[in-house]
Amino acid sequence: MNAYLEILRPGNALMAVITIVLMVLISGNFNIDAIVACTIVFIATGAGNSINDYFDYKIDAINRPERPMPSGRISQKNAGIYSAVLFVVATLLGFLIGIIPGIIVLSSSLLMIYYAYSLKKMCLVGNITISFLTGLSFVLGGVVLGELLISFYLGIFAFLMTMAREIVKDMEDMEGDKKEGAHTLPLVKGKFFSARMAAFFVILASISSPILYFLGIFNLLYLVVLMGALGVFIKSAVSLLQDQSHDNTKNISHQIKKGMAITFLAFALGSPLISSFFSLII
């Protein structure tokens, strides 16, 4: 993969784009603004990943030496310039579709830069920041597509699950973070306390997510598919409480991501637009 594409972490960026796609399915409103919003989220998320690698150059040399900068495929200077250009492009596109979307993108971009520069190393503050930004992607979609209340509900779920995964990732990255003087939760409170915190967020999200069906936001198919995700989440929480080793935390991080992907599928299949489609073909 080209290094300038790889540094964006396109898989993660596309996961962020899915938040807008889901809001399109829920609202049933597909227009040019939705396409622009998808582009914005991909570019801004990629820029955030790139600037994060820029500031984490030394940590990644220990934890993830295969990434574009530690491996020498992109210089630190070029990565910084690349990130800045992407943030500017995303912000301009935000203002192109409206003042409020523009303000959301601009403030998110500044927060991502500050996160990468400073907040990431602070105990829980960095986790809360990235989780807030993940939930905000849904809100951006809600603003653009006129479904603000529902976007808040989905944003809360995304916040809870991202909090869990961010804490697990901090457990995985303890060696590099310690050498760089970071004050992440596992370094401050220990692995077992962090495991309990991550499990708490997983279980809270798992318990609350069926509410979206009972509120009438999604149909029964959402609940059926969601059961698969809840199985992954609960199994991950139990495994994490039993084993906080590096290999297991790495596996749990992937499992939570898998569970979130299944949940997003449940959002899509349970949305009114997909329901209407199935009713037409059955």
pLDDT in tens, 129-170: 999 999 999 999 999 998 888 899 999 999 999 999 999 988
Structure tokens at 176: 């590099």
Cα 155 to the chain's mean position, in Å? 10
3-281 belongs to which CATH class? Answer: mainly alpha
What pTM, to 2 d.p., does this model score?
0.85
Nearest CA-CA partner of 201 in 246, 247, 176, 170: 170
Q: How far apart are CA 9 and CA 43, in angstroms?
A: 11
- Asked if residues 7 and 68 have their Cβ atoms less than 8 Å apart, the reply is yes
pLDDT in tens, 48-100: 999 988 888 777 777 778 888 888 888 888 889 999 999 999 999 999 999 99
Nearest CA-CA partner of 172 in 248, 119, 104, 232: 248
Please give the pLDDT value at position 66. 82
- Asked if residues 128 and 111 have their Cβ atoms less than 8 Å apart, the reply is no
Domain spans of the chain, in order of start = 3-281
Q: How far apart are CA 6 and CA 195, in angstroms?
A: 30
